Amino acid sequence: MSSLAELTDRVRAFAQERDWEQFHTPKNLAMALAGEVGELLAELQWLTPEQSAAVMADEDLGPRVRAEIGDVTIYLVRLADVLGIDLVEGALEKLADSARRYPAR
């Protein structure tokens, strides 16, 4: 299984090989991330809660949702790389904050 660190390297190399680093400011990447999340929403917007829960079993919608989540992940990983943020560490810190604000029952 590939790791997040390997994915980060692959996405960075992808940008370098196309001379796209000049476009990859945090601001632009955040917009691109939002654009991809918008495409993900568009796949789910008219579904009932039940239909959304079964979406991966749909032979048409399932692969599209998977592809959109792939795009979201690519831009999130690229944004974190450009900002010098470790995604897992950052998320664990935020989860610890949330645990203090919303104690478990």
Q: Which of residues 39-98 bind its own copies (CB under 8 A)?
A: 39-42, 44-49, 52-53, 55-56, 65-67, 69-74, 76-77, 79-80, 83-95, 97-98
- Interaction of residue 100 with its own copies, rule CB under 8 A: no
Q: How far is the CB of 100 from its own copies (least distance, A)?
A: 12
Q: How far is the CB of 24 from its own copies (least distance, A)?
A: 9
> What phi and psi values does residue 25 have, to the nearest 5 degrees?
-75, 155
Q: How far is the CB of 50 from its own copies (least distance, A)?
A: 8
Q: What length does the chain have?
A: 105
From the centroid of its chain, how far is CA 102? 25
Measured CA to CA, the distance from residue 23 to residue 36 in angstroms comes to 17
From 19, 60, 100, 101, residue interacting with its own copies (rule: CB under 8 A): 19
DSSP code of residue 57: G
